[in-house]
Structure 1
Amino acid sequence: MKRLGARRGCGRTVLGAVSVVVAVTVPALAGCASEVSGTAAAAEVDVRQLPIGNYPTDPLDVRMTYRHSSGEGYAMAIARLADNMVIGADVDPSFSHNLLSKSLASASSTYAMLADPVRTVLEASDMVYGYSTASSTKPLDKSSGFSLSGNFQPFGGVDVDPTASSFNLTVIQFPDQQSAQTAGRDMEAADFNVASDQNVHVTLTGNPAAVAHWRPGVPSLAAVLTDGPYVVDLFVQQPTADLDGLRGLADKILAAQLPMLDRAPALSAKKIYRLDYDPDDMLRRTLHPSSLINPNPDTEITHTARGYLHYVDDQTTWKPLLDNNGVDRVSEADEGSILFRARDPKSAAALWTAITALTPTPAEAPAKVPDVACADNHDAAANDSNKDYNAWNAADKYICTVRYDRYVARVASNQLIDAQQKAAAQYALLANSQYL
């Protein structure tokens, strides 16, 4: 898209300044004759000349008209809930590894996570939507087996390290408080009755309204708490069968979670339908190869920093990067890019430097594109801190990171030239988005 600069004086066209500024003292025109000394900035890169391939460089809302549907509204509602769910670091810094992030659009979504009898309760209830997340003090064992039994599987059917402390937190919205209370009571009863001859009811010290149980000698505890129209289902486990320790951990998690739900009041069907698909104009700035948008809480959406961290394996690496640089929004587009919005351009520069250091093997960057670094990611399995299983695959062989103003974006591909074209297109899109 052609962008016109501001016309000044004797027919000279001045383009906006870029993030890379070259400071030199040059004569400047005042009128058409007199010289005035000053410091000039480099001209904006002409993004029409960048090697973008066939990728679009116009903002998404220029290329399409978004029309709500009920299904897309629910996708945005689930993303909103994820933004208000605890990550491990909200409980304790030692919970540094994300084990599970799962959007729950229906009762069937809880397969390989909740026990079959609990899922049966949800199928008979008026469940609206939900979200489940799990964290641990240690990463998953990559050789761990996967179970397909119908038993309670709080970590998606994968066995966690028995020497770790881990938890799963699932929040489900129901139409009203009464239906939530009924569902919560029935969910706990169904889970308890899976081994009613061995389970024992317990009370949480900090949350006596919760219904909870454990099996003596087994180092885990399950609890259900109703909070208005929400049901909070919690599972915690520790290395030893210490009931007081398990109850203390459960109370600590709930103490972090419940205030977040207070900041995210339950949504009626009308409010779900009217949710904004692109809050803070993030998706319009995100490289999106398709001209059609399909909101999805996991792959094509805008999250807060906390919501995004649910999808990152190594939160010890990523959370400080986002916190220190004031990242408040992260958007992702399927097969496109991940876009971070930092506090200001200075913070974006620091974020860009830190992110590029995560993949230290350099690859050729696209020509003429400022503030971009590409990396060879052939040893993707060793780069756990780069894992994000959504908009782009961090197992791709090449990753490019782009910076413009207060934004930092990442793109990836199995071919270097494709990654370079994506990076160039993302830079051009960010530039164009400032003016349109």
Structure 2
Amino acid sequence: MSRPVRTAGALIMAAIVAAGAGACGNSDTGTEQSARPVDLAQLDVGSYATQPRELGPVKNPEQARMVEAERLANFVPAPSDIDPAFVHANPSIAKIFIEPKAALGRIMDVSRFAEAAPDFVAGFLSSAGSAPDNRGTDLVNAVLIFPDEQKASAAAAALERVDFEANERNTRVQLPKYPAAHAHWQPQEQSIGSWFATGRFVVYTWIYDYVKIFLEKVDFAELHTLVEKSLDRVVPSIGRFTPTPVDQLMTLPIDMDGMLNRALPRPREDSWIDPPGAYTGHGALHFTTDSAEDRRQIEAAGVDRFATDGTDLYRARDAAAAARLREDRGGLTKKFRGAESPKGLPVARCKEYIGNKTVVVRFYCSVTYDRYAAFAWSHQLLDAQQRISAQYALLVNAA
């Protein structure tokens, strides 16, 4: 199966599931290599850590807010949960946010965000398109957390008002199924924004139809039907999440079931859009470029935990499921060729991108240990080899 590779920009987003980062090959060979003992002392791990961390509780208020957003992510439906057509994710948009610009700046006027939502705690954004490269319709749901229901309700009205006032062509509209929603569109464009308060949350739904806009066609019924369909899934789902009281945010644990403890720490020189985080198997679907295929793989492997830091790490049902997941998450196609395995770690596999894109991450390595499947990437083969070797040692030492 051909998988997309990381662009240089995608390397910034180390929180993205490493689509294409899995290595491939003959599974029988992998079984033979797995039987060979690995001497950790012989691995070339460079300067990377090989001992698990004990991260403990959050260290500052900003980190606490981001961890709260990561917890929320596990309850936000993926766009493909709302409509199976929405599977093409845009990896350049921040998902975890405590400042709105990186996540919402291109789809909402955020110049007066602090004024409109002064008590905003944290947010999580879920987005995907019905076709790649802006050739279809984008569906975005951003869920914003507030200290209480009253502040969420006030923020929903204020955020819509600020965005409405930013463009004189905006026209307010009513959503028949959600009359309490604050929404507007531009009658000349097939796009809509909706702000709906539910409990301590504001759900901002944004839809943009590139095709109809190009063809200069509009269909409001189609837009409000999709907004309502989206809210039908999002509202009950996030209703199962219990936000942390604001005065207790500093008690939140950074990790979930030791996943980040086991994941390779991200080097300081790595840039990123989203912070390191630990999620459920469902949460992992938000960090992918093809949620339909990734859902199949994740559910087939029984993945219940996912962490992203210096590598992407999955916890599968058992060792066999982890091995299958590692096989499924990559493959030697015409865009990839095999690369040398790391020194002393033949069970790990590496590959090199040889496609026609010029600004991409070139090397990918992967490995499994017990229930865990790990994926690493780098512009340099040696660095990718060192990352996956250190990740393997981490998994062994954490066992």
Alignment of 1:266-415 (within 5 A): 266-288=243-265, 298-333=274-309, 336-357=310-331, 360-379=336-355, 381=357, 395-415=360-380
* Identity between Structure 1 and Structure 2 (%): 29
Asked whether 1:188 is paired with 2:160, we answer yes
* Aligned match for 2:180, one of 193, 205, 209: 209
SS in 2 for 1:97: coil
In the alignment, residue 373 of structure 2 is paired with which amino acid?
V
CA distance in 2, matches of 1:266, 1:172: 11
More deviation in 364-373 or 111-120? 111-120
CA distance in 2, matches of 1:208, 1:307: 30
Gaps of 5+ in 1: 1-18, 23-40, 141-159, 383-393
1:430 deviates by 1.0
Q: Deviations over 1:185-212 (max 9, x none)?
A: 122233334456651422232x232232
Q: Among 231, 235, 242, which residue is 2:202 paired with? A: 231
Identify if the C-alpha distance between structure 1 residues 42 and 415 changes in structure 2 by more than 3 Å, giving closer, same or farther: closer
Query: CA deviation digits over 1:345-399, x for unaligned, max 9?
Result: 11111101112316641001023324311001243849xxxxxxxxxxx933211
**Amino acid of the residue matched to residue 236 of structure 2?**
P
What one-letter code is carried by the residue in structure 2 that aligns with 1:373?
A: R
Which residue matches 1:35?
none
Q: Distance in 1 between matches of 2:110 and 2:262?
A: 42
**Separation in structure 2 between the aligned mates of residue 427 and residue 246 of structure 1, nearest angstrom:** 48
Cα distance change of structure 1 residues 297 and 80 upon mapping to structure 2, 3 Å threshold: farther
Q: 1:233 to 1:365 in 2, by over 3 A?
A: same
> How far apart, in 2, do the equivalents of 1:244 and 1:220 lie?
11
Distance in 1 (CA, whole Å) between partners of 2:30 and 2:219 is 57
Separation of aligned partners in 2, 1:121 and 1:326: 44
- 1:240-259 to 2 correspondences below 5 Å: 240-259=217-236
Partner of 2:385: 420
> Which of residues 61, 67, 78 is equivalent to 1:70?
61
User: 2:138 pairs with 146, 163, 166, which one?
Assistant: 166
Aligned-pair distance for 1:65? 7.0
Question: 1:66/1:183 Cα in 2 relative to 1: closer, same or farther (>3 Å)?
Answer: closer
Instruction: Mark the CA change 1:136 to 1:20 in structure 2 (over 3 Å): closer, same or farther.
Output: closer
User: Structure 2: which 5+ runs fail to align?
Assistant: 1-28
Q: TM-score, normalised by structure 1?
A: 0.73
Maintained 8 Å contact 2:378/2:384: yes
SS at match of 1:327: coil
Aligned residue in 2 for 1:135: 128
1:433 and 2:385 matched: no
TM-score normalised according to structure 2 size: 0.80
Shift of 1:215: 3.3
Q: How many angstroms apart in 1 are the aligned matches of 2:256 and 2:170?
A: 49
For 2:261, give the aligned amino acid.
Answer: R
8 Å contact from structure 1 (residues 397, 414) kept in 2: yes
How much has 1:297 moved relative to structure 2?
8.4
In the alignment, residue 52 of structure 1 is paired with which amino acid? V
Alignment partners' CA distance in 1, 2:60 and 2:349: 38
* Residue 273 of structure 1, CA deviation: 1.3
Deviations 1:125-149 (A, max 9, x none): 2212212232210112xxxxxxxxx
Instruction: Give me the whole-angstrom Cα distance separating, in 2, the residues matched to 1:297 and 1:269.
Output: 25
Instruction: Output one character per residue of 1:122-177: Cα deviation in whole Å (capped at 9) or x when no partner.
Output: 35x2212212232210112xxxxxxxxxxxxxxxxxxx43xx22222122111111
Deviation at 1:403, TM superposition (A): 0.8
Q: Offset of 1:76 from its aligned partner?
A: 0.6
**Is the Cα–Cα contact under 8 Å of residues 328 and 341 in structure 1 kept in the other structure?**
yes
Q: Does residue 109 of structure 2 align to residue 115 of structure 1?
A: yes
Question: Residues 411 and 380 of structure 1: is their aligned pair in 2 closer, same or farther, counting only changes over 3 Å?
Answer: farther
Counterpart residue identity of residue 184, structure 2: H
Number of residues paired by the alignment?
A: 357
Q: Partners in 1 of 2:94 and 2:196 — Cα distance?
A: 20
1:95 Cα offset (Å): 0.4
Structure (1 or 2) with the larger CA radius of gyration: 1
Asked if 1 retains the 8 angstrom alpha-carbon contact of 2:169 and 2:186, the reply is no
Quote the Cα distance in structure 1 between the aligned partners of 2:114 and 2:395: 47
**Cα RMSD (Å) of the superposition?**
3.0
Partners of 1:56 and 1:289 within 8 A in 2: no
Residue 116 of structure 1 deviates from its aligned partner by 4.5
Cα distance in 2 for residues equivalent to 1:353 and 1:71:
37
User: Which residue does 2:18 correspond to in 1?
Assistant: none
Q: Is 1:95 aligned to 2:86, yes or no? A: yes
Equivalent position amino acid for 1:252 in 2: K
- Give the corresponding residue for 1:57: 50
Distance 2:86 2:341 in 1: 36
How far 1:120 sits from its partner (Å)? 5.7
Q: Distance in 1 between matches of 2:371 and 2:197?
A: 40
User: How far has the Cα of 1:114 moved from its partner?
Assistant: 1.4
1:107 & 1:287 partners in 2: Cα distance? 28
CA contact (8 A) 1:75 1:297 kept: no
